Amino acid sequence: MAADQPTCIAIANQKGGVAKTTTTISFGVGLHDLGYRVLMVDLDAQACMTFSLGVDPDSLERSVHDVLTAGADAREVILQTEDGPDLLPASIDLAAAEAMLLTRTGREYALRTALEDLTEAGESYDFILLDCPPSLGVLTVNALTAAGEVVVPLQCETLSHRGVGQLLETIEDVRKMTNRKLKVRGILPTMYDGRTTHAKDVLADVAMRYEVEVLDPPIARSIRFAEAPAAGRSILRTASRTRGADAYRVHARALAADRAPMQEVGT
């Protein structure tokens, strides 16, 4: 039997445009295709993951905002996506959640509590993937408090990795204060062009400077990643034979291998 408790992974980097949403969706669809039950949580008020999965954020009556701030039952907010995984969607209302949570006792635990309530209610997800906003605010801290692991997507450019140290400091603070079990799974190179010395140098510098594992294979730069959200689908559906899609499948298999033997899924 697979473990009762879901494997919860935060996809975090306070810099925008580094493929957090693409990574979350691709991990989720890859794991679904391996036979796992997956929930993806959109924690960004821009609702990019929600939109990228074919859901109009402006048409939602309720979103993750209501779960975090109003005690709504997540089971009544979760949507099933065309690509397979379930989605706890976001809307622009989430922009107010930071201010609302700041006034509350135990604000860092709002998401963890909601996810624990899901499990206790019998929703047996194997994986829960958290798409963090491009900041180190209350919502990101909520994700880090709820997660067991963090994956840091990193665009392979000098300016893109300047904030990695700050993120790792925040992760260390979360370890001390709210989640002692939190681990950094590694840095995932995205928009990678292996033909350039610069990209290779950035990766080498990150690995040496922060002593964090660099996950392999890197995700190659491709216009296919920009095209997928317009279709409301994952690249694993719209361009399934590309190098990028294949790389994400490798990472999904690595995540699955750490959870349970493949033949035991769903037994």
pLDDT in tens, 21-69: 999 999 999 999 999 999 999 999 999 999 999 999 999 999 999 999 9
Q: Is the pLDDT of residue 4 over 70?
A: yes
The CA distance from 100 to 207, in Å, is 37
Q: What is the pLDDT of residues 76-124, one digit of tens each?
A: 999 999 999 999 999 999 999 989 999 999 999 999 999 999 999 999 9
C-alpha closest to that of 189 among 202, 173, 170, 208: 202
- Mean pLDDT in the chain? 90
**Edge-first strand listing for the sheet containing 127-131:** 79-80, 86-88, 38-42, 127-131, 7-11, 149-155, 183-190
Q: Is the pLDDT of residue 266 over 50?
A: no
The CA distance from 22 to 43, in Å, is 14
Beta bridge partners of 246: none
